[in-house]
Structure 1
Amino acid sequence: MYQIKKLIVCLDNSTLDETLVRFASFISKANQTKKIYFTNVIRNLHIPKEVLEEFPNLIDNMVEEKKTHMKEVVDKFFGDHEGIEFSFVVKEGQLSKKILKLAHEKSADMIIVGRKVNLPGTGVISQRLARRASCSLLIVPEGSSPKMERLLVPSDFSDYSKDAMEEAILIVEKYGGQAEIVCQNVFTIPSGYHFTGKSYDEFTSIMQMHAEINFKKFIRKIDTKGIEIQPVYTQDEDDDPVEDILAKAKEINADSIVIGAKGRTAATALFIGSMAERLIQLNDQFPLLVTRPKGKNAGILDYILEI
């Protein structure tokens, strides 16, 4: 895993900006962040040439107004942060493409975006960013508060689940090592279980037993740094493991959900996994960190940005 030296924070001049800047401040303190790019993307303006000739400073004034707003919010929550360089970037064009290009150009370690719940507008296109960014993505619902007491890490014991667990351990270590990590495995009873001669309850016990064995194999490969990892096993009864994950997050009062992006190579980079996709769609309560080893999508990014 890596330090978050360069951070991109996506703002839009709404009240959600304060939440995102608060998270950026919280993250930067533990990561010794060196550079934060606060960015606002304006939709394509399509202003007639005649209007621009009559009002030549129109676009410049608009850009300066947005930068001023961003600076006011940042000053409110950062105060005197020595050693961090701030950059205020206003771009015009397609939101996700501009953010991806900025992250690529600046070799960003993490992108922070908002998830609107009650505020008007759709917010940032989180799924597109999660699929295509060459770094991790933190999606923050409006009204969230940055805390570090309990993290939920859904896991199928795969390599990308390992990435997520290692990232969660690193996060907890940076914040003093006191937070608890809950590792949740959601398992399903196959429809043909009765052909084994076992009852439903018996086969449920068998499935959980194998989940417990696989967790032990999984966690042995990870340096937990002495941090408590609590495994929990959830039987999915409605063919929707994401609902089980969100229910567990509510039950344990999770401060964040951490999940790994499935695409680990250029060939699979656009596939973050169905579970991560649905979590991004359905979750509007918990900060969601979609982890991706830095640079994994870099090989296809130049092509994507030309689409």
Structure 2
Amino acid sequence: MYQIKKLIVCLDQSPLDETLVKFASFVASINRTEKVYFINVIRNLNIPKEVLKEFPNLIDNMVAERKSQMKNVVDEHFDHDLPADIALVVKEGQLSKKILKLAHEKSADMIIVGRKVQLPGTSVVTQRLARRASCSLLIVPEGRVPKVDRILVPSDFSDYSKDAMEEAVLIAEKNGGDVEVFCQNVFTVPSGYHFTGKSYQEFTQIMQNHAEVNYKKFIRKIDTKGIKITPLYTKDEDEDPVEDILQMALDLKVDGIIIGAKGRTAATALFIGSLAERLIQLNDKLPLMVTRPKGKNAGLLDYILEI
């Protein structure tokens, strides 16, 4: 996995900004990030031309005020001893489009966005970013404290699960190797198991045995850098693996979840798997990182931005 050299942080002038700036500082310290763009998007103003003619500095003053407010929260909560260069960006327009365009133009490695729980707001923008961003996305619920003592990586042993595990290993390595990493595979017992002559318990064990073999093949492809990774196998009872993942995360008291965005080819890299999408929808307690190989298919992104 690549390191996070260019980082975009989405601020909205709510109390969540403080949390996001702290996480940005944390991510920048781990990755020796070179550039951090803090962005705030003003909704389409649609100010009549006559008003702008009468008050020609209206928009400039609004932008200056937003930047001043952003600077205050960044100055207070970002570690300025870090080598990262800070930029404050204020745009006007549709939120998700402006963020995606900035990420594309700056060749960003990660976008950090907040998840509101008690604060007013929705997660629609977060879902759009997760589907369309051409880089990784870190979704942070309000009130979380940045730390990574324990990380859960849900895995189906695919290539995009490999991306997520490599990111977890990188984070653990950058934190001195003391991070506990858990790799969870959620498996199901097929409904036709009884035609095999095996009992439900017997077929459950067969499915777990296969998962254990596949984990060994999977982990051999990854340079774990000496980091201890604990495999976990969970039988899905209700055809909803996301519930099993979230429950495991809470039981283990992890500090965050890392999952790969489905799609590594140019044609599919800007779309997201159903498991990651469901996690984004249901998880409002833990930071969730959705990893994606950087810079896939800029032409398709240009098309999406025009939609």
TM bin, normalised by shorter chain, reads over 0.9
CA contact (8 A) 2:153 2:257 kept: yes
**Residue in structure 1 matched with residue 198 of structure 2 by the alignment:** 198
Name the aligned partner's letter for residue 303 of structure 2.
Y
**Residue in structure 1 matched with residue 301 of structure 2 by the alignment:** 301
Alignment of 1:124-135 (within 5 A): 125-135=125-135
Alpha-carbon distance in structure 2 between the residues aligned to 1:82 and 1:133: 26
Alignment of 1:73-152 (within 5 A): 73-122=73-122, 125-152=125-152
**C-alpha distance 210-123 of structure 1, shift in aligned 2 (>3 A):** closer
Alpha-carbon distance in structure 1 between the residues aligned to 2:148 and 2:5: 20
Alignment RMSD: 1.1
Deviation at 1:62, TM superposition (A): 1.1
**Residue in structure 2 matched with residue 18 of structure 1 by the alignment:** 18
Tell me the TM-score normalised to structure 2 length. Answer: 0.97
Deviation at 1:124, TM superposition (A): 6.3
Identical pairs, percent: 77
CA contact (8 A) 2:32 2:82 kept: no
Alpha-carbon distance in structure 2 between the residues aligned to 1:22 and 1:101: 24
**Residue in structure 2 matched with residue 214 of structure 1 by the alignment:** 214
CA contact (8 A) 1:132 1:297 kept: no
Deviation at 1:81, TM superposition (A): 2.4
**C-alpha distance 289-297 of structure 1, shift in aligned 2 (>3 A):** farther
Alpha-carbon distance in structure 1 between the residues aligned to 2:199 and 2:129: 44
Alpha-carbon distance in structure 2 between the residues aligned to 1:281 and 1:139: 11
Tell me the TM-score normalised to structure 1 length. Answer: 0.97
| Greater alpha carbon shift after TM alignment, 32-41 vs 80-89 | 80-89
Alignment of 1:177-256 (within 5 A): 177-256=177-256
Alpha-carbon distance in structure 2 between the residues aligned to 1:201 and 1:221: 31
Matched length: 307
Matched residue of 2:267: which SS? Answer: helix
Alpha-carbon distance in structure 1 between the residues aligned to 2:148 and 2:197: 46
Structure 1 runs of 4+ aligned residues shifted over 4 Å read: none
Structure 2 residue runs of 5 or longer lacking an equivalent are none
Matched residue of 1:268: which SS? Answer: coil
Deviation at 1:5, TM superposition (A): 1.1
CA contact (8 A) 1:96 1:124 kept: no
Per-residue CA deviations over 1:218-262 (Å, capped at 9, x if unaligned) read 111111100010000000001100000000000001111000011
